[in-house]
Amino acid sequence: MYRSKLAERAKKSENGPKGSLITRKNTNKSSITKKYAVDCHALSQFLNGCRPDIDDIFKPATRRDTVISAVNNTPGTVTRTDSVFYAI
């Protein structure tokens, strides 16, 4: 999905978000398609330097997200123990 690809690029940027994308659902006021389009536009603006942050599109980072992010940026092996990821 395009939204996920843009989010991956945003996370790799210098001031990128640390959490995961929020889950979008249909509501009476707005469809999921419209919400995804708004998210993609915001992500695109962020990547082009036109928007300072995109925290409203991401869940707050958890310890697990932070550890996985650190591991993905460094070489090594990832193991899983009790839902916590560690780099070896």
pLDDT in tens, 19-59: 889 899 999 989 999 999 999 999 999 999 888 878 888 88
For the chain, the maximum distance between any two Cα atoms, rounded to a whole number of angstroms, is 48
Residue 85's DSSP bridge partners are 80
61 pLDDT above the threshold of 90: no
What confidence score (pLDDT) does residue 37 get?
Answer: 93
What confidence score (pLDDT) does residue 17 get?
Answer: 86
Cβ pair 26, 20 in contact under 8 A: no
pLDDT, average across residues 48-74 = 71
Whose CA is closest to 70, among 55, 85, 83, 57?
Answer: 85
pLDDT, average across residues 64-87 = 51
- The whole-chain average pLDDT of the chain stands at 78
86 pLDDT above the threshold of 50: no
- By CB atoms closer than 10 A (0-12, 13-18, 19+), residue 39 is buried
Distances (CA, A) of 81 to 62, 64, 65, 71, 85: 16, 11, 15, 15, 6
